[in-house]
Structure 1
Amino acid sequence: WMEVESQTYNPPSSILVFQLAFAPLWRIPQNQTEIAKNEEKFSKVLDVYEKRLSESKYLAGDEFSIADLSHLP
């Protein structure tokens, strides 16, 4: 799950955080194309997480682990 986080969770979430939170603060025009593209990607990633979490309490099983911790901001 840590590799999933670095390869599939972080890329779209980082772009969305920048475009939706930081760009307006820094008066940088938001790129609506990038926002839409990464919202779609992130939605698919979250579907995988939702499925996994419907099967176990935490990402790597029934105990909180570094896999869960790596997803915290």
Structure 2
Amino acid sequence: WMEVESQTYNPPSSFLVFQLAFAPLWGIPQNQTEIAKNEKKFSNALDVYEKRLSESKYLAGDEFSIADLSHLP
């Protein structure tokens, strides 16, 4: 799950945080096309997490682990 976080979850979420929160503050134009693409990627990633968390209490099983912590900002 840590690899999923670094390869699938983090890239679109980081992009969206920058584009939606920081770019306007710094006067950087938002890229609406890329925002839409990354919203879709992030939504797809969250679907995978929803499926997994419907099967177990935490990402890596029934106990809280580093896999869960790696998703915190």
Q: TM-score, normalised by structure 2?
A: 0.98
Q: CA deviation at 1:70?
A: 0.3
| Aligned residue-pair number | 73
The secondary structure found in structure 1 opposite 2:37 is helix
CA distance in 1, matches of 2:24, 2:69: 29
**Alpha-carbon displacement from aligned partner over 1:43-66 (angstroms, at most 9, x marks no partner):** 000000000000011000110000
Identity of aligned residues (%): 93
Q: CA RMSD in A?
A: 0.4
Q: How far off its partner does 1:7 sit?
A: 0.5
Counterpart residue number, 2:65: 65
Q: Please identify runs of 4+ aligned residues in structure 1 that moved more than 6 A.
A: none
- Could you tell me the TM-score, scaled by structure 1's length? 0.98
* Secondary structure, aligned partner of 1:36: helix
- The unaligned stretches of length 5 or more in structure 1 are none
